[in-house]
Amino acid sequence: MIDKDEALARCQELVGLARKAGADAADAVVRAEASESVTVRLGALEDVSRSESESLALRVFLGRRSASVQASDFAPAALGVLVERALEMARLAPEDAYAGLAPVEALMREEPPDLDLADPVEPAPARLRDLAAECEDAARAVAGVTNSNGGSAGHSRSVSALATSHGVARRVEATGHSLSASVIAGPSGAMQTDHAWRSARHAADLATAAEIGREAGERAAARVGPGSVAGGTMPVVFDPRIGSGLLGHLLGAMNGAAAARQASFLLGRENEDLFDPAIRILEDPLRPRGLASRAMDGEGLSCAPRPLVENGRIFGWLTNAAAARQLGAALTGHAARGGGGAPGIAASNVHLESGTCTPEALMADIAEGLYVTDLFGQGVNLVTGDYSRGAAGFRISDGQIVGPVAEITIAGTLPEMFRALSAANDLAFTRAVNVPTLRIDRMTVASG
């Protein structure tokens, strides 16, 4: 796999070739990754896999016309062919009044901070096997667990680079470590499955294999023998594992590209009190070792911590250069690059601040309610804000969790859900989007 310096050199070479061939402007992205994973099932080695990939993507501009191409061949002759293909496509493309690189005056000029994203520790395959086995063993040791889908451990190392014709030249190296287990509990004909999974930039930041495995086993065992709930309107409490999805819906609706397409339920609500004033939702792209940390966005702008929701209101739209031009809005440093094409929009390391009470206290006054641990289906409309998902979890009765339930549907509208949101004090930073236990009153719950 190429290193980060070579990745940047390839980007700069591509941009230089494009400009020499007649492009008015250009940018290039190179990504490379090597990953290894080991899976153990029922104590026996089941799978060992290793993969390596390298790709480069070029975007060229001819006036307001643009085109993007992607390839995996880094040979000098192939780069020349890639440039010519991109320019041919751009000549045939329609004009786009909002296309173009980010304004030069907005680009990051300072030296980026070291976010400590690359772990020098690279576990050997034998170590990954031991971790996967330990994770599965801990899950299978939980009373009630009867079978296993396996335990897995993995490691990855990646590099990425971005260069533009107006001066951006940045490269990043990052690592990832992961552990997971998935097991089955209950007798034949009434089995339930669940899992636990963790990932981190550094191995030292992961929970232990035994802790992760035990969580998977306990989750599966607790789901055995599910019942149902009486339909009606009641409080719904979201486990942190799935509560982060609510923030995902908010971020999707705050996407400037969606707003420009008139495809967000937040249009016209920018100055409304959407949340209780006690709710704060923050973004911190500069968190050391964060799963989504980045000092620079996909167009070369500095990323900075900011509140996304404060005093009940969203701060505005998340933008890249195209969305900012179309909306007449400010650039916010949220451009995100995938393998190729124009930049998308994404936030980095988002969390909802902890409340002041424990999860137990958050549920204490609920006479009848639902504690949700799993959600299914795609019943969320970010244009209208309508929300309807299949769910599983546990009944809440007189403030206590009393038994598993399944085949439930919960429904509401996202604006109403956000206004009714309250939070417990158990926030933990284990994902790219993190929330504590969340409660939403007056959701519609139906069974069957």
pLDDT tens profile 24-55: 999 999 999 999 999 999 999 999 999 999 99
Provide the residue range defining the domain that includes 106: 4-221
Give the model's confidence band at 372: pLDDT under 50 very low, under 70 low, under 90 confident, else very high.
very high
**pLDDT over threshold 90, residue 282:** yes
CB 292 within 8 A of CB 432: yes
- Can you tell me which residue has the tokens 């249009």? 267
- Give yes or no: residues 193 and 59 share one domain: yes
* 186, 221, 256 - which closes a domain: 221
What is the pLDDT at residue 447?
Answer: 87
Per-residue pLDDT band for 378 (boundaries 50, 70, 90) equals confident
218's enclosing H/E stretch is: helix 209-222
- Please indicate, yes or no, whether residues 89 and 169 belong to a single structural domain of this protein: yes
Give CA–CA dist 289/124, Å, rounded.
22
Q: What proportion of the chain, given as a percentage, has pLDDT over 90?
A: 96
The pLDDT tens digits of the residues spanning 117-131 come to 999 999 999 999 999
CA triple 86-91-96, angle to 5 deg = 100
Do both 123 and 167 map to the same domain? yes
Question: What span, in angstroms and rounded, lies between the C-alpha atoms of 415 and 16?
Answer: 48
Q: Which amino acid is at 79?
A: L
Q: Is pLDDT above 90 for 230?
A: no
Average pLDDT over residues 397-413: 96
| C-alpha–C-alpha distance, residues 435 and 393, integer Å | 18
Number of separate domains in the chain: 2
Q: Do 291 and 344 have their domain in common?
A: yes
The residue assigned the tokens 């206590």 is: 400
pLDDT in tens, 315-345: 999 999 999 999 999 999 999 998 778 999 9
Residue 60, judged by CB atoms within 10 A of its CB (0-12, 13-18, 19+), counts as buried
Residues 380, 406, single domain; the answer is yes
- 245 shares its domain with 205: no
Are 194 and 53 within 8 A, CB to CB?
Answer: no
Q: Please give the average per-residue pLDDT across 56-69, as a whole number.
A: 96
Could you tell me if 262 and 159 lie in one domain?
Answer: no
Beta strand extents in 165-301 (DSSP E only): 169-185, 192-200, 232-238, 281-283
Which residues neighbour 308 within 8 Å (Cβ) at sequence distance 6 or greater?
250, 251, 254, 281, 282, 283, 314, 315, 347, 350
CATH number (domain holding residue 160): 3.30.2290.10
Domain boundary among 161, 191, 221: 221
In residues, how long is the chain?
448
Q: Are residues 235 and 217 in the same domain?
A: no
- The answer on 73 and 49 residing in a single domain is yes
Q: How far apart are CA 336 and CA 384, in angstroms?
A: 25
At 95, is the pLDDT very low, low, confident or very high (cuts 50, 70, 90)? very high
Please give the single-letter amino acid code of residue 135. Answer: C
Please list, in sequence order, all residues whose beta carbon lies within 8 angstroms of the beta carbon of residue 261, skipping any fewer than 6 positions away: none
In this prediction the pTM is 0.95
The span from the CA of 37 to the CA of 343, in Å, is 30
Q: What is the distance between the alpha carbons of residues 74 and 169, in angstroms, rounded to a whole number?
A: 19
φ, ψ (nearest 5 deg) of residue 337: -110, 130
Query: Pick from 190, 221, 252: which residue ends a domain?
Result: 221
What is the DSSP pairing of strand 232-238 with strand 368-376?
A: parallel
Instruction: Report the pLDDT value the prediction gives residue 270, as an integer from 0 to 100.
Output: 93
